[in-house]
Structure 1
């Protein structure tokens, strides 16, 4: 069983560290003007403490101009702490380094108290990192559930033998003068050359002072890093400032050997500044990580012009531009439009149970099933980095120009001579993914990187015929109703001898073709 959040601290719940200085909250504080305060007060006046905020529309001035799917990439944004991990031979020092990596990204955030945009069901975000050594990391994510919200993600750096799978399940609640976002879910990090897994959870997030006082962002409660193969655990407490004293942004905790119960190291410091580790065997204390001098490497994404309508940056483009300009009316109107379209889609679908993710599949039973969803493709742990890269890029478009290149390759293949009798003439037109047939919906031979899931739902018109424009939407689940740029062009697809072919005629009805038996 994967460890979750611990509510009972191994040390004092009060924030105290060996460093006596008080931590200046600085950019974590936001002063709300009168108009904004009135909006917040009106919303909150309708709530009771403990109320679920997942269905409450929050004002745009407290929103970060990016989706939660993109914000998750902060976790992988300090390559100096991530990439060397598989090269460390000593298992204890390797675990210490994993803990350092885990703590290295929490300082990355926008100024003030900001909440990322809630992804819509089926929203996706892909990105990549260019590393100083000439290698790359790749990221794929999808909103696999809306009620309750679940954001599933996959990261891999093939040249460094690192893979991360995760699902984040935030729950927001009104707590009086605070709003708490309880970050449930886990991530599992693997090193292919070590045959090890590291299970991690996240601290909870709080917005303080939403009714009176200054708004303040805090991380709180416990997070866990655990390696079942080595038996090492880290219990990290993100300490909140007490009413009568303490400091902001403090951390504390221990690394222990779970097999013997022995504490090996003590952690202390501030997650937005200097963090220290003390060897309990020798008493030696040293700097673990200094966030004030860290240089985050933020994720890169394809140009919006290459993205499909349901990819995060394109979907929220007008909203995020308005948020950055402090144009609250445009931001609110656009955000409301997207949310209304999502509700209309849900009504036509007949419920979220009729939805199935495109890029992710249900996690298998076992100690990783709390992931809920994992990438719906096989990336071979034992393959070469070049082969792994091919498998990753077959899942979704990640790199600039990738979709267009694959479309060109397909067009060249379509005009190439075929050794199979009349195969090219026998292929009827079918709809493809707008990014260049990046997702396998069964039109290709099944392979190790085939992605087979898709939305169950296809809207019907009167008479039972499936609308061709809605068919394109349901085939990839990547465009909102009426979204600009969502037009699809019929493209021939590869086909296997004996495989039934389905197409839609000009009346919207399905026609199935099967080879005659020989």
Structure 2
């Protein structure tokens, strides 16, 4: 992220969103008197209003572009989940690994602060090992971001198109994420289609932020389908309850048969239970996948200043 003070331009990078997101966020990027200021901003906004063009004061932003957030969910992982998707021996093994990879793109965020809105034509490009990721802001009104990524070694391709639509609900803000994600395993001739969960920002009675909604993953070539629900349950007045829940199932659509039941927490452990044998196994461990991530480093500073504005970076553990 470029920050200009007078004639001096400073490049500022922050750690990727990860399990330690709240504790790692630098105090200087936390909004002061958070709840009071947020309520004052929304006092004239009616419930149901579209907040797509709503401008946050800079004090509520931290030095990270929205495009960078999208890209980080793909290239910032501690384990190579993409490789596991490709190495599965059977279509069901590969599909289950794709479900785990999809869950890994769900990252914790910090309440009350947000990344900067991307400008039209802005790009974010990262190379990590054999993985190349390019994200571009292709539309400004409505705001639409497109992502294309390839892994040359694994022969994998990703294509995303996302449009966030935030709406004010009175005591919360729900950012619906429209669009489709495609993951192609070229070696197996399989394409996986999926959507994204929505982001729920709860203001009252207890401030908080959660991913909610239904994610459907399907592979037309194999007929396998996953129906995953992101949930948060709260007890009286919003206190207690269980957050970051995942419930769902994996089924064979051609036979209308449920093969696995999915259960867990996207920020902890997610398990599947074989409906035939009753066997339970872990398919996703958030601590292994999205913990201890390092701040990216810049390898070519000059390209950052080239028009149109681009973010060319490489993660610190890249070869």
- Determine if the alignment matches structure 1 residue 184 to structure 2 residue 178: yes
How big is the shift at 1:214?
A: 4.3
The TM-score, its normalising length taken from structure 2, stands at 0.81
1:203/1:223 contact within 8 Å kept: yes
1:178/1:207 contact within 8 Å kept: yes
How big is the shift at 1:312?
A: 4.8
* 1:312 to 1:173, Cα distance in 2 relative to 1, 3 A: farther
1:372-394 CA deviation, whole Å, 9 max, x = no partner? Answer: xxxxxxxxxxxxxxxxxxxxxxx
| Larger relative strand fraction | 2
Structure ranking higher on relative contact order (CA contacts 8 Å, 6+ apart): 2
Q: For structure 1, list consecutive stretches of 5 or more residues without a partner in the other structure.
A: 1-23, 131-135, 314-396, 401-518
1:466-502 CA deviation, whole Å, 9 max, x = no partner? Answer: xxxxxxxxxxxxxxxxxxxxxxxxxxxxxxxxxxxxx
- Determine if the alignment matches structure 1 residue 306 to structure 2 residue 303: yes
1:233/1:256 contact within 8 Å kept: yes
How big is the shift at 1:60?
A: 3.1
Correspondence 1:15-94 to 2 at 5 A:
27=22, 35-76=33-74, 77-78=76-77, 79-94=79-94
Partners of 2:150 and 2:70 in 1: CA distance = 14
Aligned residues: 285
1:271-318 CA deviation, whole Å, 9 max, x = no partner? Answer: 1111111111111111221112335577665433322243354xxxxx
* 1:298 to 1:271, Cα distance in 2 relative to 1, 3 A: farther
| Larger relative helix fraction | 1
* Bigger Rg, structure 1 or 2: 1
Q: 1:146 aligns with which of 109, 131, 140?
A: 140
Query: 2:232: which partner in 1?
Result: 240
Partners of 1:67 and 1:26 in 2: CA distance = 16
* 1:80 to 1:139, Cα distance in 2 relative to 1, 3 A: same
1:87-127 CA deviation, whole Å, 9 max, x = no partner? Answer: 222001110011111112324x4544442221111111111
RMSD between aligned alpha carbons? 2.8
Higher deviation after alignment, 77-86 or 164-173: 77-86
How big is the shift at 1:33?
A: 7.5
- Determine if the alignment matches structure 1 residue 166 to structure 2 residue 160: yes
How big is the shift at 1:226?
A: 0.9
1:75/1:102 contact within 8 Å kept: no
- Determine if the alignment matches structure 1 residue 216 to structure 2 residue 196: no
Partners of 1:304 and 1:256 in 2: CA distance = 48
The TM-score, its normalising length taken from structure 1, stands at 0.51
SS at match of 1:179: strand
